[in-house]
């Protein structure tokens, strides 16, 4: 009797070991989804036994956000089409737009989602072209975050203004997707949305995630890398979207004060912090602000880490 019991215990222990062993192995295997959304290739990687269902849910959410934040459709499209009127938006979008206004205030307007008219002028939504000073002066009347009105879940922009959430949409979506994935019990994931990377926890083996930072002079090469957990790593760079005309490079990050591509002496800005939306907005803002103003801004914010690359090829790390 005793012997049988012992055998049963040994068999049960063996089964447990086999289950644990196979479970442990599959928990180490990454599950990945690659999709095209928000105008970029997106790769979502998660670990653990719920990774598959979590990623399916994340991809579905991603498609919803793609529509929601599009300048021509969803809530943002609706605001743009009904400029001059108060427009009811969903709770998530209202919160995002309120955060955007606050980030504009904090960055003295270097980040400004009302640059839609400028972005259109330079053709970054269609055919790129150099804009004249007259055209810029005319568009300037329809740019300015202070003119956004937010009240009771509704938003109003002046007639002629166009919102563009390109500088914040991917970061915001990354943070939201991370929440969706975590709801499925996933504790380890890395999500890459264009220049926006965000991480949930550490790798299953307990090591940090490695995020490479592209070389602005050779986007197929890497300049640096950072090791992170539970952090957003967002890069804004003039090399990401641009056109050359008559020997001049015109890129997609606009200085809202001039209406022209920002000339701050930077070619790449990487921001690392826990807030995905802020990381994305700040990367764009710091690009416009340049190294000195960025350093001033960060003096009271030690939790935000930044890597700047200047047009001279210098790498500056702040915090």
Instruction: List contacts with Mg ion (CB under 5 A).
Output: 167, 280, 283-284
In the list ligand AMP, Mg ion, none, the entry touching 201 (Cβ below 5 to 8 angstroms by class) is: none
In the list Mg ion, ligand AMP, none, the entry touching 256 (Cβ below 5 to 8 angstroms by class) is: ligand AMP
Residue 89 CB partners (closer than 8 Å, separation 6+)? 75, 78, 79, 97, 153, 154, 155
Closest-CA residue to 286 (of 251, 253, 259): 253
Nearer to ligand AMP, 31 or 37 (CB): 37
**Least separation in angstroms between CB 280 and Mg ion:** 4
Nearer to ligand AMP, 26 or 98 (CB): 98
**Least separation in angstroms between CB 78 and Mg ion:** 23
Closest-CA residue to 271 (of 309, 244, 240, 245): 309
In the list Mg ion, ligand AMP, none, the entry touching 71 (Cβ below 5 to 8 angstroms by class) is: none
**Least separation in angstroms between CB 287 and Mg ion:** 8
Residue nearest to Mg ion (CB): 284
In the list Mg ion, ligand AMP, none, the entry touching 145 (Cβ below 5 to 8 angstroms by class) is: none
**Least separation in angstroms between CB 302 and ligand AMP:** 23
Q: Which two tokens stand for residue 299?
A: 């003096």
Closest-CA residue to 227 (of 204, 205, 202): 202
Residue 98 CB partners (closer than 8 Å, separation 6+)? 150
**Least separation in angstroms between CB 283 and Mg ion:** 5
- Kindly report the backbone phi and psi dihedral angles of residue 256, in degrees, each rounded to the nearest multiple of 5, phi listed first: -60, -20
Nearer to ligand AMP, 164 or 215 (CB): 164
In the list Mg ion, ligand AMP, none, the entry touching 75 (Cβ below 5 to 8 angstroms by class) is: none
Closest-CA residue to 170 (of 299, 79, 292, 41): 41
**Least separation in angstroms between CB 284 and Mg ion:** 4
**Least separation in angstroms between CB 307 and ligand AMP:** 15
**Least separation in angstroms between CB 121 and ligand AMP:** 12
**Distance of alpha carbon 42 from the chain centroid:** 11
The CA–CA distances, whole Å, from 81 to 75, 76, 123, 158, 273 equal 10, 9, 19, 11, 34
Nearer to ligand AMP, 188 or 270 (CB): 270
Closest-CA residue to 55 (of 172, 166, 192, 160): 192
In the list ligand AMP, Mg ion, none, the entry touching 74 (Cβ below 5 to 8 angstroms by class) is: none
Nearer to ligand AMP, 54 or 101 (CB): 101
In the list ligand AMP, Mg ion, none, the entry touching 164 (Cβ below 5 to 8 angstroms by class) is: ligand AMP
Residue nearest to ligand AMP (CB): 166
Nearer to ligand AMP, 89 or 254 (CB): 254
Nearer to Mg ion, 142 or 172 (CB): 172
- Which residues are near ligand AMP by CB under 6 A? 111-113, 115, 119, 124, 164, 166-167, 195, 236, 240-241, 252-254, 256, 280, 283-284, 288
Nearer to ligand AMP, 112 or 201 (CB): 112
Q: At what angle do helices 169-183 and 51-68 cross, to 10 degrees?
A: 150
């Amino acid at each position: 009797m005793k012997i049988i019991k012992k055998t049963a215990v040994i068999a049960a222990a063996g089964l447990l070991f086999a289950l644990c062993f196979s479970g442990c192995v599959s928990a180490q295997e990454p599950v990945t989804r690659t999709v095209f959304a928000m105008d970029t290739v997106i790769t979502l990687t998660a670990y653990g036994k719920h990774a598959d269902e979590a990623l399916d849910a994340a991809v579905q959410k991603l498609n919803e956000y793609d529509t929601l934040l599009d300048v021509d459709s969803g809530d943002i499209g609706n605001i743009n089409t009904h400029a001059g009127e108060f427009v009811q938006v969903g709770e998530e979008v209202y919160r995002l737009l309120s955060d955007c206004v606050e980030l504009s205030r904090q960055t003295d307007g270097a980040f400004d989602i009302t640059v839609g008219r400028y972005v259109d002028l330079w053709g970054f939504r269609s055919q790129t072209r150099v804009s004249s000073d007259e055209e810029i002066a005319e568009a300037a009347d329809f740019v300015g975050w202070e003119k956004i009105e937010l009240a009771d879940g509704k938003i109003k922009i002046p007639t002629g203004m166009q919102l563009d959430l390109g500088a914040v949409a991917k970061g915001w979506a990354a943070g939201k997707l991370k929440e969706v994935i975590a709801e499925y019990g996933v504790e380890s994931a890395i999500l890459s949305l264009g220049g926006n990377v965000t991480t949930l926890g550490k790798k299953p083996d307990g090591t940090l995630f490695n995020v490479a930072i592209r070389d602005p002079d050779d986007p197929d090469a890497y300049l640096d890398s950072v090791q992170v957990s539970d952090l957003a790593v967002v890069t804004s760079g003039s090399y990401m979207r641009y056109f050359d005309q008559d020997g001049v490079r015109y890129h997609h990050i606009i200085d809202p004060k001039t209406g022209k591509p920002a000339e701050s002496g930077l070619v790449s800005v990487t921001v690392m912090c826990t807030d995905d939306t802020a990381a994305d907005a700040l990367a764009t803002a710091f690009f416009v602000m340049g190294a000195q103003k960025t350093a001033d801004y960060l003096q009271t914010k030690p939790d935000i880490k930044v890597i700047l690359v200047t047009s001279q090829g210098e790498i500056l790390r702040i915090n």
